[in-house]
A and B are shown apart, each in its own frame.
Chain A
């Protein structure tokens, strides 16, 4: 009473039992392995993507504000920005550069092939000003100039991956039957949307796509020393007056990162929840194995009780045994999960999706191991308790 068995004696006994039934133990932990493998790889990739996007967003600069004519992502805008809004924003104190334009998708033709890409048009000098140091750098050739007409800059993917023959600086592509000369190629950004893109001057773009005087995005830089949150609030007030309603978003880099991250976070949680079902199956497997194991060892339990083992001693032996089953499954699942995440990362990077990353940290590793040990302990507890309470007479009589 009071003192329990020495911990290493319990562990020794539990390990002997596990080793004795090696095949059975291995089959039992498969459920745990699969559950942990799925959870680890999905959490790793989910957080990896979130972290990557957050870093990329922050890289766009803590002095930038993005303004969109919709309240929420995914809902099409009810109306668009005009020169009126541009003027109102320019008049806000603290605003430095205002860049406005259009973002959409279109088909381009090159070397007899047609491919779908995203396109941007804006005033080139302002585009460069707002996006300098943001990862939008020229790999080859030059940036667009304000007096360029039928010239374009293309993304890394557009140049190198999309067409059978690579597009080079100086080549001519067709957009809506208009010829454009490629004057520059961007460095790889790491997501297909940006890499498979094309950038045009606003004058020619407006005419080409028929959206003259309308803009679906505005990007602003804030003057040095100004409080970006304050400027953001002032822009909201100005837009409210000019736009006539509040169907717009004014997003700092931080807010943008949070918004996108939270969407991905929800997806990650959902997917991990599905993986947790595998873990539940694994837990039931452990319970089943412990139950069968205890039935097989009723005689041993009776012997131990006759020798002076307390109920808590026997309970401890069985619970530690099931805990180790869970832990061992967790270790195997963890290793395989990390390997899987790394393989997926490598494949994704090779295909140009730099945003797919495996996030591995000590918190993930330790958390998973504790979690799987607890799964083992909890799932083993109830069969262990019923085993520990066996009447020694009944077990010994059955010899």
Chain B
């Protein structure tokens, strides 16, 4: 489902070249739950951005669903983001102007445009909020009227709106207390196990990482090691 081949990402700092990623090889199967762990500056967010088609590698090849994304233009990358990937961010990144329901409807607007009626959109958005375990009475609340955990549930619901096969979560619990964070991770695990979503979580917290089936450790832009916690056969 997700494949990185010899991926290198560099930035220039004056005369110096900084390696965010160096010769990374990674293969994530469909339906897998993978954690990417490392300290700040290890390149894990860069990796997630590259997987998510928000960024491009300096060298190497990136495949999503056997599509080589290096060769795609902006519109094509946008299409992949819209159809195949749902993002969950540390700071939730909801549009503050819109209600919870409206935030969840956004990906549907961009994907279906005129083809999906307002009623259908609303129905789908409510389904997603339910899947994300947010009570329906909060659907018309603005983000600033919701707790952190609730906002993150809205963000997850939004990520699910277009039913993408891949969920990419960048420090999804970083802004939450540990108890709430654990509930969010339980939700992601459930989406992985019950709905078959391929989940990739970036984190610096080992307790969060352990929700995955395997942990990939990054250090200085390189894969340091890999730890397998469970396999498909363990379910």
What are some 14 contacts across the A-B interface (CB < 8 A)?
A1-B79, A4-B113, A6-B109, A6-B113, A16-B97, A16-B98, A304-B95, A305-B81, A306-B54, A307-B107, A308-B83, A308-B111, A309-B106, A393-B54
The 4 A-B pairs at the shortest CB distance, nearest first, are namely: A308-B82, A399-B91, A308-B110, A6-B114
Number of contacting residues on B, CB 8 A?
Answer: 30
Task: Identify A307's interface contact among B79, B82, B113, B114, CB under 8 A.
Answer: B82
- A399 and B91 alpha carbons, distance in the complex (Å): 7
Instruction: Check: A212 CB closer than 8 A to any chain B CB.
Output: no
**B residues near A5, Cβ cutoff 8 Å:** 109-110, 113
Q: Identify the interface centre among B55, B83, B93: most chain A CB within 10 Å of its CB.
A: B93
**A residues near B42, Cβ cutoff 8 Å:** none
Contact A9 B109 (CB under 8 A): yes
Known contacts A393-B49, A399-B89; A307/B110 CB under 8 A: yes
- A311 and B73 alpha carbons, distance in the complex (Å): 12
Contact A306 B109 (CB under 8 A): no
Cβ proximity bits B92-112 to A, threshold 8 Å, 1 near / 0 not: 011101100000001101110
Instruction: Check: B162 CB closer than 8 A to any chain A CB.
Output: yes
CB closest residue in chain B, given A309: B110
Instruction: Check: B52 CB closer than 8 A to any chain A CB.
Output: yes
**A residues near B110, Cβ cutoff 8 Å:** 5, 304, 307-310, 313
A contacts with B: majority SS: helix
**B residues near A307, Cβ cutoff 8 Å:** 81-82, 87, 106-107, 110, 158
- A305 and B75 alpha carbons, distance in the complex (Å): 11
Instruction: Check: B180 CB closer than 8 A to any chain A CB.
Output: no
Instruction: Check: B70 CB closer than 8 A to any chain A CB.
Output: no
Known contacts A307-B87, A313-B110; A392/B82 CB under 8 A: no
Instruction: Check: B6 CB closer than 8 A to any chain A CB.
Output: no
- A304 and B106 alpha carbons, distance in the complex (Å): 8
- A304 and B79 alpha carbons, distance in the complex (Å): 13
Contact A396 B89 (CB under 8 A): yes
Instruction: Check: A3 CB closer than 8 A to any chain B CB.
Output: yes
Cβ proximity bits A277-320 to B, threshold 8 Å, 1 near / 0 not: 00000000000000000000001101111111111010000000
Contact A308 B89 (CB under 8 A): no
**B residues near A313, Cβ cutoff 8 Å:** 110
CB closest residue in chain B, given A302: B93
Instruction: Check: B78 CB closer than 8 A to any chain A CB.
Output: yes
Instruction: Check: A78 CB closer than 8 A to any chain B CB.
Output: no
Number of contacting residues on A, CB 8 A?
Answer: 26
**B residues near A306, Cβ cutoff 8 Å:** 52, 54, 81, 87, 93
- A307 and B114 alpha carbons, distance in the complex (Å): 17
Given contacts A396-B89, A399-B93, 5 further A-B contacts (CB under 8 A): A3-B113, A302-B93, A303-B95, A393-B54, A396-B54
**B residues near A1, Cβ cutoff 8 Å:** 75, 79
Within 8 A of A (CB), among B114-164: 114-115, 158, 162
**B residues near A308, Cβ cutoff 8 Å:** 78-79, 81-83, 107, 110-111, 162
**B residues near A304, Cβ cutoff 8 Å:** 95, 106, 110
**A residues near B114, Cβ cutoff 8 Å:** 3, 6
Within 8 A of B (CB), among A1-29: 1, 3-6, 9, 16-17, 20
**A residues near B49, Cβ cutoff 8 Å:** 393
**A residues near B55, Cβ cutoff 8 Å:** 393
- A306 and B86 alpha carbons, distance in the complex (Å): 8
Cβ proximity bits B60-91 to A, threshold 8 Å, 1 near / 0 not: 00000000000000110011011100010111
A298: min CB distance to chain B, Å:
12
B142: min CB distance to chain A, Å:
11
B115: min CB distance to chain A, Å:
8
**A residues near B79, Cβ cutoff 8 Å:** 1, 308
**A residues near B97, Cβ cutoff 8 Å:** 16-17, 20
Known contacts A3-B114, A6-B114, A16-B98; A310/B78 CB under 8 A: yes
A12: min CB distance to chain B, Å:
9
- A305 and B78 alpha carbons, distance in the complex (Å): 7
- A170 and B95 alpha carbons, distance in the complex (Å): 84
A316: min CB distance to chain B, Å:
11
- A302 and B54 alpha carbons, distance in the complex (Å): 10
**A residues near B95, Cβ cutoff 8 Å:** 300, 303-304
- A4 and B113 alpha carbons, distance in the complex (Å): 7
Known contacts A3-B114, A392-B54, A393-B55; A309/B91 CB under 8 A: no
A208: min CB distance to chain B, Å:
81
CB closest residue in chain A, given B175: A399
Contact B75 A310 (CB under 8 A): yes
A19: min CB distance to chain B, Å:
9
